[in-house]
Amino acid sequence: MPISLSPNALVVLERRYLKKDQRGRPVETPQDLFKRVARTIAGADRKFDPKAEIKKTEQGFYTLLSELVFLPNSPTLMNAGRRLGQLAACFVLPVEDSIDSIFETLRHTAMIHKSGGGTGFSFSRIRPENDTVLSTRGISSGPISFMTVFDVATETVKQGGTRRGANMGILRVDHPDIEAFIQSKTDLAKLNNFNISVALTSSFMEALTAGKDYDLINPRNDKVIKLVSARAIFDKIVRAAWQSGEPGIIFLDHINRANPTPQLGEIEATNPCGEQPLLPHESCNLGSINLSKMISGGKLHRTKLRQAIRSAVHFLDNVIEINKYPLHQIEAVSKKTRKIGLGVMGFADMLIKLSIPYDSKRAVRQAEQVMTFILREARKASSDLAKKRGNFPAYEGSVFDDPKTPYMRNATVTTVAPTGTISIIAGCSSGVEPIFAVAYERRVLDGEALFEMHPLFENVAKQDGFYSDELAQQIAETGSIQHIKGIPDKIKRLFVAAHDIAPEWHVRIQAAFQKHTDNAVSKTVNFPQDAAPSDIEKVYRLAYESGCKGVTIYRYGSRGHQVLNLGMGQERDATIVPRTRPVRTMGVTERINTGCGKLYVTINEDDEGICEVFAQMGKTGGCASSQIEAAGRLISLALRSGVKVEAILKQITGIRCPSPIWQNGKMVLSCPDGIAQVIKNYTRISSTDMPAMMGACPDCGGSLEHEGGCLVCRSCGFSRCS
């Protein structure tokens, strides 16, 4: 039976998930992929019962996947049944206060990134900058300098042709270097392979409320260095987040109050998006149920949801068993706790189908009700598995070590993850986020811009007779319908986009899910461009008071070079005069292979930066050469007119000609695409720092969305956190 997939989902699967031959051509269909994953994961049953009905389980898993009811995290879709076999997405590694520990962790980080995972670290144990190093009689360079080393290593591994690495760097608020850490990402050129978060303690929050000072403590000897104002530090966090979206914050004591295995130690760090707090050397595999598939006749289909939950818990527990872990220490700790993270996607779509506005008390109640049901049923499923397979080995001494819960297979069962790319495959809204835009611009492979409506809105618009292609283009200018005439008010109330919603409602929805989630909830709290720092402070306090384990905010336009296609730009000067080309410039020439032949691209700079690009095709002439020359002249004119390099790359990246070619493991789609790749190499604008700086997808040039604590392109599936 054919799988119902959107054109966008097919693009994402082909680019990122389907097996390919040496020339980069897919050698499996989406059906083949789902069969491969279902067959591999079902095979784990043999470890527990040689007579297990593997075919029946395999068919059940295949139905779950192919009907887009449940999808596991990306590494499982990519690697199950393949040579790499690394299926987990989330890892936390320890960083102790010694050179040996730091560089051992660095080596382990590279291994995890090479296998497709993301890593989180707490750098709080490293002694502060300028502190004494007794072994050398020198001084310490501090945690931020070592974060820079990790950042460079991540970039190097990525440039070696592997899947992108992503990191979370955390520092306790009572570390002496906390002020420098807070400011470390206000410079957008630094730590581009890191998300950063400040770990706030309850004692800090109490000092903040009371208007008191608190202690900064040297982790080397636990001695108090000095007293500082909690208010002053909090203001710095708020200001930095207002300016650049980082740091995020995590509430360390909230996390550890929910630690299911306190006998194994405290939790100090999370995965890159913050939804998975983990012990050192622990990993977790995640998966999400598509809530939009759970609505029937305007009601939640609880029987269908219960069946999906039970199958998903079975699936995720099997993943633990057959995963090829990148390190033996990670396998040992992961199998000791057997944490899984079952979450949701399509929540906003579910609300629309139930005629419930996202920013309403009804939506908060619905969030609590559905997650209460999922947590209860997931724990029942885990308990039933434990009766057959045994409790997780660290059960004794855990929070479940009680006569009321004699069986539990997994130390945690629920997590709400961002679901950036898998929600594109499933054709639903991401995680527990509101819809990002009612209509948006999507760039296809030939560079053409298509304006797409949210399918539920399109259905309503056609039923009510106000649909048109022009309407889609008009909505895509801002993503919102609130300002558009001719759309009924009840429709406007229901189809609220992320930037239509007051920040407080984002937090209330997050808190509602967090109440009934073992791990944490990944979510972005969106702010308008004119939001004040005081608005962000209110959200931080509300998140703490309502029991969230952390919070990530994003103020629209706060990253300096953003050109997100939502039509919120300022007025532009109508007359732009390019600066004069100097007599002498400095630059380089790079050769790149294209389908038309060898292309030689020259990039020159003046005192203000790149000022011109020339391109010439070896041993050719006529129309091709004239078009390449024209492209170079126009790029040069744009550069000298003050157009950002990133904006130019957005326009020429991904243009396809009839003769694409592979070079050094990457496809060159055309001569303009080749010029773009040379410019990226020269300027070191990479797949991770382009979106951090501007909001244009580095892979296809489409718009990036800030959701779930990450950056995601809904056109091609690019994710900064994958």
DSSP string, 452-464: EE-HHHHHHHHHT
Q: State the average pLDDT over residues 386-399.
A: 98
Q: Are strands 138-139 and 299-300 parallel, antiparallel or unpaired?
A: unpaired
pLDDT digits (tens, 9 = 90+) for 435-484: 999 998 776 545 566 778 999 999 999 999 999 989 988 998 889 999 99
Name residue, tokens 């079952």.
342
Q: Compute the distance between CA of residue 629 and CA of residue 617 in angstroms, rounded to an integer.
A: 9
* Average confidence score pLDDT of the chain: 89
> Is-catalytic flag, 273?
yes
Domain ranges of the chain: 7-78+282-426, 90-270, 586-713
Q: Compute the distance between CA of residue 567 and CA of residue 547 in angstroms, rounded to an integer.
A: 35
DSSP state of 639: H
Q: State the average pLDDT over residues 404-409.
A: 96
Cis omega (within 30 of 0) on the bond before 528?
no
pLDDT confidence bin for 691, thresholds 50/70/90: very low
pTM above 0.85, yes or no: no
Higher per-residue confidence, 717 vs 487: 487
DSSP per position, 648-675? HHHHHTT---S--EEETTEEE-SHHHHH
**Which of 58, 192, 259, 273 is flagged as catalytic?**
273
So what's the pLDDT on residue 561?
Answer: 39
> 311: which 2 tokens?
């199958």
Whether 556 has a pLDDT exceeding 90, the answer reads no
> Is-catalytic flag, 629?
no
Would you say 645 and 639 are in contact if contact means Cβ atoms under 8 Å apart?
Answer: yes
Whether 535 has a pLDDT exceeding 60, the answer reads yes
So what's the pLDDT on residue 717?
Answer: 78
| Segments in 93-229 forming alpha helices (H) | 99-115, 143-159, 178-183, 202-210
| Segments in 495-564 forming alpha helices (H) | 503-514, 533-545
pLDDT confidence bin for 702, thresholds 50/70/90: low
Please name which of 186, 202, 196 lies closest in space to residue 143, comparing C-alpha atoms: 196
Q: Compute the distance between CA of residue 298 and CA of residue 161 in angstroms, rounded to an integer.
A: 47
pLDDT digits (tens, 9 = 90+) for 582-638: 777 888 888 888 888 888 899 998 877 888 898 888 765 567 778 888 888 889 888
Burial of residue 717 (number of CB atoms within 10 Å: 0-12, 13-18, 19+): buried
So what's the pLDDT on residue 509?
Answer: 98
Whether 133 has a pLDDT exceeding 90, the answer reads no
Q: State the average pLDDT over residues 329-345.
A: 98
Whether 357 has a pLDDT exceeding 80, the answer reads yes
User: Which long-range contacts does 58-64 make (Cβ < 8 Å, 24+ apart)?
Assistant: 60/311, 61/37, 61/311, 61/315, 62/34, 62/35, 62/38, 64/38, 64/308, 64/311, 64/312, 64/315
**Which of 8, 271, 526, 565 is flagged as catalytic?**
271
Whether 571 has a pLDDT exceeding 80, the answer reads no
Higher per-residue confidence, 556 vs 462: 462
SS3 448: coil
CA angle in degrees (0–180, nearest 5) for 510-511-513: 70
Whether 549 has a pLDDT exceeding 90, the answer reads yes
pLDDT digits (tens, 9 = 90+) for 269-307: 999 999 999 999 999 999 999 999 999 999 999 999 999
**Which of 58, 246, 275, 707 is flagged as catalytic?**
275
In percent, how much of the chain has pLDDT > 70? Answer: 91
pLDDT confidence bin for 694, thresholds 50/70/90: very low
In percent, how much of the chain has pLDDT > 90? Answer: 66
Higher per-residue confidence, 69 vs 153: 69
Q: State the average pLDDT over residues 526-532.
A: 92
Whether 686 has a pLDDT exceeding 60, the answer reads no
CATH architecture of the domain covering 90-270: Alpha-Beta Barrel (3.20)
Whether 690 has a pLDDT exceeding 70, the answer reads no
> Is-catalytic flag, 271?
yes
Q: Are strands 550-555 and 524-527 parallel, antiparallel or unpaired?
A: parallel
Burial of residue 379 (number of CB atoms within 10 Å: 0-12, 13-18, 19+): buried
Would you say 411 and 394 are in contact if contact means Cβ atoms under 8 Å apart?
Answer: yes
Higher per-residue confidence, 625 vs 409: 409
